[in-house]
Amino acid sequence: MNVKKIMCTGFFVLMLIILCTLPVLAYSPEATDRYTQGNMLMKNKNYTMAIGAYEEAISLAPDYYQAWNGKADALNRAQQFSDALAASDKTLSLNSGYVQGWINRGYILYNLGRSDDELKAYEKAISLDPSNPDAWFNKGYSLAGMKRYDEAISVFDKVQSLDPNYPNLAANRRIAEQSRDAATPWYVKNALTLGIIALFAIGAIAWFISVRKEY
């Protein structure tokens, strides 16, 4: 009987510790209302008011990482890039596994001209969710911007396999192909033809020399 009591007490204590250490899974209705309002303002491209709505949500729930991410997105769209990056830092400090937070960070870093860090942000998102077509698409877009066209095309093909109806995918893949072809030197494009011509030329010279030797 004493053993059972000890086991029950131990189980109760263990559950209490687990419950106390779990992160808060929900925010107050007021905070979520402000967050929802911010999202609606973003859809209407009212970025200044959206920033205010997200800040109200954050004031009610300082660990509301989605609201921090919304604020970062709104600041980025309002071209306040340094402040956007700071809000992104806060987002990911609260939840480093937040995929959308890493994708949004990539957008901000793009606007700051930090291509290498932008690409790393998308790759981090992919490592967290390998089936996320947004993360893959933005990686492809980033690679194309870095003139790494073959890699970009391969990534766009990955997006195709994940979501065949992904918006603007075909157009961006085609642009990457055209950019690659335009950047390829003419002698590389025509390497096979030039090789065949060279072989014929060498053969003709060899034949001409051999004929002259006979005379």
pLDDT one-digit tens code per residue, 151-176: 999 999 999 999 999 999 999 999 99
Q: What residues contact 24, with CB distance under 8 A and at least 6 apart?
A: 63
Q: Which two tokens stand for residue 139?
A: 């990686």
Sign for the CA dihedral angle at 25, 29, 35, 41 comes to: positive
Distance of alpha carbon 171 from alpha carbon 67, whole angstroms: 33
pLDDT in tens, 81-103: 999 999 999 999 999 999 999 99
Q: What residues contact 90, with CB distance under 8 A and at least 6 apart?
A: 65, 68, 72
- pTM of the full predicted structure? 0.75
